[in-house]
Amino acid sequence: MTQLEAARQGLQTPEMAEVARREGLRVEQIQEGLAQGVLVLPANALKKKARPVGIGRGLTIKVNANIGTSSDHIDLEEELTKLQICVEAGADTVMDLSTGGDLPEILRTILSRSPLPVGTVPIYQAAVETIREQGGLVHLTADKLFEVIEQQAREGVDFITVHCGVTLSSLERLKRQGRITDIVSRGGAFLATWMVYHGQENPLFEQYDRLLELARRYDLTLSLGDGLRPGCLADATDRAQVQELIHLGELRTAALEAGVQVMIEGPGHVPLNQIVTNIQLQKRLCEEAPFYVLGPLVTDIAAGYDHIACAIGGALAGMAGADFLCYVTPAEHLKLPTPEDVREGIIAARIAAHAADLARGNAQAWERDRAMALARKELNWEKQISLCLDPEKARKVRSESPPQESEVCTMCGEFCAIKLVRDFLKKA
Amino acid sequence: MTQLEAARQGLQTPEMAEVARREGLRVEQIQEGLAQGVLVLPANALKKKARPVGIGRGLTIKVNANIGTSSDHIDLEEELTKLQICVEAGADTVMDLSTGGDLPEILRTILSRSPLPVGTVPIYQAAVETIREQGGLVHLTADKLFEVIEQQAREGVDFITVHCGVTLSSLERLKRQGRITDIVSRGGAFLATWMVYHGQENPLFEQYDRLLELARRYDLTLSLGDGLRPGCLADATDRAQVQELIHLGELRTAALEAGVQVMIEGPGHVPLNQIVTNIQLQKRLCEEAPFYVLGPLVTDIAAGYDHIACAIGGALAGMAGADFLCYVTPAEHLKLPTPEDVREGIIAARIAAHAADLARGNAQAWERDRAMALARKELNWEKQISLCLDPEKARKVRSESPPQESEVCTMCGEFCAIKLVRDFLKKA
């Protein structure tokens, strides 16, 4: 039984209880949200994770961090260091997006070490192995793709991105649209080139029932991917993107009917003034399904600092209703991220998520900021540091420039406004 | 004659022409905006800057960087390094907020080296010198304050922050409000403690005509400061803050009547869902005056990464109509920033400003992002790097992990989506 099916039958699983505890909610709220399909609880039926995570309506916004090798950079130890940083820096989930090296072995190792739910994009392994073994992507078969999905599910993957909305019909929209960057999703590009070569429909769409049956068996949460997401601001919210989203809305309904948990992925590169529209559109077309956004990046020219462009977009998306933010690191558009890039990316996304949680009135979020304000008022530095999103970094920065009076910091020194006012009120 | 008076008389100054050229606008648009008081052009009448900057309606959003010593950290060479970084990293203006060392000498040196307009907060020098010379802030006099303002104006300062809205009436609102962090503005704290001690009105408010006469003589642009800005999310948009803003609106009208250029400063720490309200309130209460925001920071708990919390707030503020973003560095709330912190802060604020320019439909901004999208499509790395906000950083990041094929990057390696689609279309 999937978490969704259990919820519909009025059952409360240990995972629901744990999510409720961590969110400060009643377990009934989690169960009802699951039953309605407005929240998901990605938890492979075979291998439960130490920290189950709920994503969706009424919950705090969650952050995903992508790790994994590429064909140009294969170092399992480094990826395990990144995994460790994901846990330390407060990511809620990780995705293994490896495309270089022994892919099943890398995934198995990450799954065995991760206390967090793990996601994958199975088309990567299917495509890479087909190219290696048969010399070209065109030799990919539907059976190969479904075999990889089942293999990864058996290993314990909790959620998978499947680009089921890259259909012949949405590719036709793409062609007529005349985009600048066409397709920037790797999974979308694998599928689209295969489809155009063979003149055949996407197997993940055509054999969607087969996918649902697999997903149901392992309680694999489907993350319906946006293979046609815009790769630049000029392509945002175009007919191809919206066509795909319409497909995803329909596919989501079918997943719920089959007892399969499902969320929807969204853009991408989106100008700030189109973000609210994108969220409203997704919430309407996909009937309040949990929304997992990849950014959005609010400019194309911030390479080296794309984690900041992403934090801006993610915060506004979160305020408007997005539920799950995929981080972007400072290395985006330039190279595979280092462990340090991973940390920077996670913290930036967590700031965005927290800012949006505050804007949505989340009580836990407000409690923490209020405690920080009180610690500042009291010039209580230990407490301030412990309340920071990254206490280690805050402690390090402060210690690099120790103030003469321990009550203040070197920014304002003896002319600290809080101290001035406090000392004055004491005397008055 | 001030730029405002010239504009009203139908004159077009060389500064107006230069601003128009850089914004891609007609000089008449600059002149009309100045005449209406919806934009300012801070340019000291005695010492014009190499790069005049326009701030306000219809223009790109500008970024200010604060530099300057504190009582705990006095190193003029380091501040000059920061100034150099301000120029290189693309700040539009700098403010010298020094409170440690020989303040007139530091300011003189910064003014002589800066091609950018320079701002100050004259109450800092007035208060610090009074404390040093007479042993306490309570000995500050109105004459001392006005002497410092005139001295700085003679040296060539282009704009000054004056906290004229910290009045006995707004302090009464503050007292009745019952805030957590009371006053976090240094200038506001100096004035408020002096006012409470003496039971007297703020000299910058009481002798506002004297201030206007000085400002008019040197064409000193007034930045009406928000001494009562919120220092934490829980204090945002409260009665004290709004009371001060009402005062600032009235003072702005009087400044325009006296031929003095004027802009308004705004918060501070503001939850994401109150930012649009804050901008609309300022634009209405201050009749479309240029709005200079200090952040806003969208959470209290991001110390070590406050440049990111500020970029989120600044971008949304800019989209809603803010004209001028004061940067925040990663050192905020922890220490005086280093030169590297200054660079990080400026780039983060520029990303926010640019994202908001795009959202507001600025043609120059869209042209640059479009060029980047085309360079990405062409896999033209030299062009991509040259179009980045920080080309040096982008080049460095890419070179740290050189790809095997020069056309891609190590993020996706040979499975680059853009390359996959392009190669496929070539073959097809």
DSSP character string of B346-365:
HHHHHHHHHHHHHHTT-HHH
Place of tokens 């103030």: A403
Q: How far apart are the first and last CA of chain B?
A: 68
Quote the CA–CA distance of B74 and A370 in Å, as a whole number: 33
User: Under an 8 A CB cutoff, do B333 and A411 touch?
Assistant: yes
- Asked if B384 and A44 touch (Cβ cutoff 8 Å), the reply is no
Residue among A231, A374, A413 minimizing CB distance to B72:
A413
- Determine whether the interchain pair B334/A186 forms a contact, defined as Cβ–Cβ distance below 8 Å: no
If one compares B275 and A422, the residue with the highest pLDDT of the two is B275
Cβ of A417 and B189 within 8 Å?
A: yes
Question: From the CB of residue A424, how many other CB atoms can be counted at a distance below 10 Å?
Answer: 17
b/e map of A216-239 (b: 16 or more CB within 10 Å)?
A: bebbbbbbbbbbbbbbbbbbbbbe
Contact B418, B405 (CB under 8 A): no
Q: Do B272 and A356 touch (CB under 8 A)?
A: yes
Q: Are B94 and B114 in contact (CB under 8 A)?
A: yes
Nearest CA in chain B to A175: B425
pLDDT of residue B423: 84
Pull the structure tokens for residue A204.
Answer: 């993940």
Q: Cβ contacts (< 8 Å) between B304 and chain A: which residues?
A: 388-390, 393-394, 396-397
- Nearest by CB to residue B183, choosing from A70, A298, A417, is A417
pLDDT at B428 over 60: no
Which residues of A fall within a CB distance of 8 Å from B331? 397, 401, 411
Q: At what angle do helices B168-177 and B186-198 cross, to 10 degrees?
A: 100
Query: Are B186 and A315 in contact (CB < 8 Å)?
Result: no
Cα distance from B304 to chain A (closest Cα, Å)? 5
Cβ separation of A397 and B183 shorter than 8 Å? no
Q: What is the DSSP letter of B336?
A: P
Gap between the Cα atoms of B82 and A383, Å rounded: 31
Q: Which site among A334, A335, A362 would you substitute to test the B interface, given the most B Cβ atoms closer than 10 Å to its Cβ? A: A334
Q: What is the distance in angstroms between the Cα of A45 and the nearest Cα belonging to chain B? A: 31
* Closest Cα in chain B, distance from residue A10 (Å): 36
Distance CA A313, CA B47 (A): 41
Nearest C-alpha in A relative to B233: A369
pLDDT digits (tens, 9 = 90+) for B77-103: 999 999 999 999 999 999 999 999 999
* Residues B399, B404, B406, B407, CA torsion sign: negative
Number of C-beta neighbours around residue B101 at 10 A: 17
Report the pLDDT value the prediction gives residue B364, as an integer from 0 to 100.
95
pLDDT at position B77: 97
Q: pLDDT value at position B385?
A: 97
Cβ pair A301:B354 closer than 8 A: yes
CA atoms within 13 A on the CB side of A185: 27
Q: How many CB atoms lie within 10 A of CB B361?
A: 10
* Chain B residue with minimum CA distance to A315: B312
Q: Do A186 and B316 touch (CB under 8 A)?
A: no
Percent of chain B predicted with pLDDT > 90: 95
CA dihedral for A46, A51, A52, A56, sign (positive or negative): negative
AA letter at A364 = Q
Which neighbouring-strand residues pair with A65? A94
- Residue A350 tokens read as 């967590």
Amino acid identity for residue A115 in this structure = P
CA–CA distances in Å: residue A41 to residues A116, A263, A381: 12, 10, 38
> Which chain A residues are closer than 8 Å to B390 by Cβ?
304-305
Closest C-alpha to A384, from B303, B94, B234:
B303
CA distance A346 to A88: 10
Phi first, then psi: give them for residue A61, nearest 5 degrees.
Answer: -75, 135
- CB pair distance less than 8 Å for B389 and A301: yes
Look at phi and psi of residue A355 and say left if phi exceeds 0, alpha if psi is from -120 to 50, else beta: alpha
Give me the pLDDT at residue A423, please.
84
Domains of chain B: 45-360 (3.20.20.540), 364-427 (no CATH)
Instruction: Give the side-chain half-sphere CA count within 13 A for A338.
Output: 8
Residue A14, token pair as written in the block: 């240990």
- Angle, helices B339-359 vs A306-320, to 10°: value is 50
List the end-to-end C-alpha distance of chain A, in Å, as a whole number: 68
Q: Which of B116, B121, B57 is nearest to B291 (CA)?
A: B57
Closest Cα of chain A to B139: distance in Å? 14
CA distance A47 to chain B (A): 29
Which residues of chain A have a CB within 8 Å of the CB of B309?
A: 351, 355
The reported pLDDT for the residue numbered A422 is 87
Cα dihedral A282/A288/A292/A293 (nearest 10): 30
Candidates B181, B235, B355; nearest CB to A272:
B355
What is the rounded distance in angstroms from the CA atom of residue B403 to the CA atom of residue B411? 9
A233–B400 C-beta distance less than 8 A: no
Which among B100, B360, B420 is the nearest to A189, CB-wise? B420
In this prediction, residues B58-85 reach a mean pLDDT of: 97
Give residue B248's pLDDT.
Answer: 98
Phi-psi region of A59 (alpha: psi -120 to 50; beta: other; left: phi over 0): beta
**Is A300 within 8 Å of B376 when comparing Cβ atoms?**
yes
CB contact under 8 A, B308 and A334: no
Q: Which residues of A90-118 are buried (b: 16+ CB within 10 A; e: fewer)?
A: bbbbbbbbbbbbebeebbebbbeebebbb
Tell me whether residues A373 and B305 touch, CB distance under 8 A. no
* CB contact (8 A) between residue B401 and residue A335: yes
Distance from CA of A400 to the nearest CA of B (A): 8
Chain B positions in Cβ-Cβ contact with residue A417 (cut-off 8 Å): 183-186, 188-189, 231
Query: Is the pLDDT at B57 greater than 70, yes or no?
Result: yes
User: Are residues B410 and A351, on separate chains, in Cβ contact within 8 Å?
Assistant: no
**CB-based contacts of A14, cutoff 8 Å, min separation 6:** none
Digitized pLDDT (tens) for each residue of chain A, 428 residues in all: 999 999 999 999 999 999 999 999 999 999 999 999 999 999 999 988 878 999 999 999 999 999 999 999 999 999 999 999 999 999 999 999 999 999 999 999 999 999 999 999 999 999 999 999 999 999 999 999 999 999 999 999 999 999 999 999 999 999 998 999 999 999 999 999 999 999 999 999 999 999 999 999 999 999 999 999 999 999 999 999 999 999 999 999 999 999 999 999 999 999 999 999 999 999 999 999 999 999 999 999 999 999 999 999 999 999 999 999 999 999 999 999 999 999 999 999 999 999 999 999 999 999 999 999 999 999 999 999 999 999 999 999 999 999 999 999 999 999 999 999 888 776 65
| Cβ contact, residue pair B181, A100, below 8 Å | no
- Give the distance from residue B225's alpha carbon to the nearest chain A alpha carbon, in angstroms: 15
User: Closest Cα to residue B39, out of B64, B22, B24, B59?
Assistant: B59
Q: Do B235 and A413 touch (CB under 8 A)?
A: no
Q: How far is B140 from chain A (nearest CA, A)?
A: 15
Contact predicate B211/B258, CB 8 Å: no
**Cis check: omega of the bond before A268, within 30 degrees of 0:** yes
Across the interface, whether the CB atoms of B335 and A397 are under 8 A apart is answered yes
Closest CA to A361 of A89, A90, A61, A91: A61
Q: Which of A53, A86, A46 is nearest to A329 (CA)?
A: A86
Asked if A71 lies within 8 A of B415 by C-beta distance, the reply is yes
Query: What is the gyration radius of the CA atoms in chain B, in angstroms?
Result: 23
What is the H or E stretch that residue B154 is in?
A: helix B142-155
| Residues of chain B with C-beta less than 8 angstroms from the C-beta of A130 | none
Q: Can you spell out the DSSP letters for A350-403?
A: HHHHHHHHHHTT-HHHHHHHHHHHHHHHTT-HHHHHHHSSSHHHHHHHHHTS--
- The backbone torsions φ and ψ at residue B96, rounded to the nearest 5 degrees and listed phi first, read -95, 110
**Among B235, B334, B377, beta carbon nearest to A409:** B334
User: How far is the alpha carbon of B183 from chain A, nearest alpha carbon, in Å?
Assistant: 7
The helix (run of H) or strand (run of E) holding residue A162 is strand A159-162
Tell me which H or E stretch contains B265.
Answer: strand B262-266
Q: How many CB pairs under 8 A join A and B?
A: 369
- A103-113 vs A76-89: helix crossing angle, rounded to 10: 30
CB B273 within 8 A of CB A319: yes
> In this complex, do A369 and B300 lie within 8 Å of one another by their Cβ atoms?
yes
Find the closest chain B residue to A296 by CA distance.
B355
Calpha distance B377→B358 (Å, rounded): 20
Task: Measure the CA–CA gap between A81 and A273, rounded to whole angstroms.
Answer: 37
List the single residue in B with minimal CA-CA distance to A377. B181
Residues 6+ apart with CB under 8 A from B219: B1, B2, B3, B43, B44, B45, B261
Residue type for B127, please? A
Cis peptide before A296 (omega within 30 of 0): yes
- Is the peptide bond preceding residue B104 cis, with omega within 30 degrees of 0? no
Alpha carbon distance A211, A215 (integer Å):
6
Of A360, A389, A417, the CB nearest to B186: A417
Q: Which residues of B touch A409 (CB under 8 A)?
A: 333-336
In chain B, residues with a C-beta closer than 8 Å to the C-beta of A163 are: none
Task: Copy the structure tokens of residue B51.
Answer: 């790069």
B405: nearest CA in chain A? A72
β-strand partners of B326? B64, B294
Cβ atoms B128, B148 nearer than 8 A? no
